[in-house]
Chains A and B, each alone.
Chain A
């Protein structure tokens, strides 16, 4: 396969999503929750009855779809950043420890991974949704519980092979302490892998969060989320097609961009895979 160019479009899309998350309120045409009943159900601007005041149309309360998508980016990115940092951090720490120390530490951590992976994610999410108060914190908790195994399993495998390499043996013989070997010598060597996993996880976190919020178990109104917008739009599917297409496109674009960028990063860091 010849496509080894940097995925520029993906970077632009992800850049836009991040920009909306950080600076959205400054350039969004309207307040996300601004209600204008007189303008309710305005179609997108290219359809008759649409106007450039509401480029992507409005919902049943006359709220601007574009502004709400911009506001939803903030929630998606916030959840994704926390969830990725925590699941990546916890997963990597456990994976490195399991791989490096082996023995009982490895056995315990590996069993934990097995157990976690044998429980499907969505029912587990249901369980926690029934127990924890809904909102960003709950969504992040559920995602961390589901995804730490991803990192732990892969990092463990990498460390298992790194451990046998000469530079680690030399460090050990030279009397470098275990914590120091873990932090100074092993962690930098799994950073590439972590970056690839984190990029790929961004997309799946957005989809996961959207699913929970769509069910009404994730982000709660008045906070705006793409999944919540889809749930609102579902009730008006017969009259306003833009309510369920626009937020979905936002989800798809962010997820596609992060998958493509993640794949590219993986191939770039690991030249062996380029051949396949």
Chain B
């Protein structure tokens, strides 16, 4: 277990370092930040002074080390737009993104768990076919388009739910459905196939022979084991939702991290973009790491030696 832990931590660290390298390289590709910061009529001396102040006159490896040191203290510079530390700006918006991701995950599970179980139990029947159709559509309909359709039907036409902003629990419904839409397909299929395997196994047969009610057999005994592969996916999709709700946040004017980063891209606000990319990468790595380590807790059969 400890060797495994060390290896996974090491892999995570390498991944974060890789992300840092990519961000650093991209920053250099972006061109001279000095030109953006100084007025048009700045003199050569102004440029040189600014470069020195920003440390841009030093050799690249030194610049990289400085960048690393700042990154580890969460210092990505000041936002050009807001004149505030870039990372702090994003962390302020993290609760909104977290809330949306949790709601999206909850929606996905509310739909995927019953559908997955029912389509395994009633294999080949209409529930199964419905689940299969939903899975196909789920993968082909981009979440942001689902979002637009939800706004069209439920907000504009029927006026049941609000479409924009974050003012109360009702505002959370439509974006959560749009965000949770995509993983439903994969989650349902995974749960269905692991349920099918388990419903065939001896201990389920024993349970039935012993006269346990079918409901108990399926929902208490079969689902508990069938949910292990699903748990893996939950982590991956949750990480993706946390770090990738950009388009959905824009569609619903949700004041989260993703929308701030998109705004920053348009404003050429590079510190915020950098901080956003690294924040996403770190969240992604950490969540995946936690998921991997939690296998052993969920299923004692998978303890890493």
Q: State the A residues within 8 Å of B (CB).
A: 111, 114-116, 118-124, 126-132, 203, 207, 210-211, 214-217, 230, 233-234, 237-238, 241, 244-245, 248, 251-253, 255-256, 259-260, 276
Contact = CB atoms under 8 A, between A and B. Distances in A.
A132 to B, nearest CB: 8
Contacts of A211: 142, 144, 247
Interface in B269-283: 270, 273-274, 276-277, 280-281
A66 to B, nearest CB: 18
Interface in B258-278: 258, 261-262, 264-266, 268, 270, 273-274, 276-277
Contacts of B281: 118-120, 123
Of B136, B277, B284, most buried by chain A (CB within 10 Å of CB) is: B277
Interface in B130-144: 136-137, 139-142, 144
Contacts of A121: 244
B contacts with A: majority SS: helix
B15 A217 contact: no
24 contacts: A115-B18, A116-B18, A118-B12, A119-B15, A119-B22, A121-B244, A123-B243, A123-B246, A123-B276, A123-B281, A127-B26, A130-B273, A131-B26, A203-B140, A211-B142, A214-B144, A214-B247, A215-B246, A215-B247, A230-B148, A237-B156, A251-B141, A252-B137, A252-B140
Contacts of B156: 237-238
B30 interface: yes
B250 interface: yes
A115 B19 contact: yes
B9 interface: no
Contacts of A248: 141-142, 145, 148-149
Contacts of B276: 123, 126
A207 B140 CA distance: 8
A74 B261 CA distance: 30
A128 B262 CA distance: 12
Given A123-B276, A123-B277, A126-B261, A118 B149 contact: no
Contact of B262 (A203, A215, A251): A215
Of A124, A127, A128, most buried by chain B (CB within 10 Å of CB) is: A127
A76 to B, nearest CB: 13
A215 B26 CA distance: 20
B284 A119 contact: yes
Given A126-B261, A129-B265, A130-B265, A114 B14 contact: yes
B257 to A, nearest CB: 9
A115 B274 contact: no
Interface in B51-70: none
A229 to B, nearest CB: 11
A260 B247 CA distance: 26
Given A118-B15, A244-B152, A130 B268 contact: yes
A127 B246 contact: no
Contact of B280 (A114, A123, A130, A207): A123
A122 B250 CA distance: 13
A244 B148 contact: yes
Given A215-B247, A238-B156, A127 B22 contact: yes
B139 A126 contact: no
Contact of A118 (B19, B139, B262): B19
B294 interface: no
Of A124, A126, A207, most buried by chain B (CB within 10 Å of CB) is: A126
B152 A237 contact: yes
Interface string B205-244: 0000000000000000000000000000000000110011
Given A211-B142, A214-B144, A230-B145, A122 B22 contact: no
A197 to B, nearest CB: 15
Nearest to A200: B139
Nearest to A233: B148
A36 B145 CA distance: 27
Contacts of B11: 114
Given A214-B144, A248-B149, 17 more contacts: A116-B18, A118-B12, A119-B15, A120-B239, A123-B281, A126-B265, A127-B22, A130-B30, A130-B270, A131-B29, A211-B247, A233-B148, A238-B156, A244-B148, A251-B141, A256-B139, A276-B193
A123 B244 contact: yes
A122 B12 CA distance: 19
A126 B244 CA distance: 10
Closest 8 CB pairs of A and B: A115-B18, A118-B15, A256-B140, A123-B280, A255-B140, A248-B145, A122-B244, A120-B243
Nearest to B151: A237
Given A115-B18, A215-B247, A252-B140, A237 B280 contact: no
Nearest to A263: B136
A115 B15 contact: yes
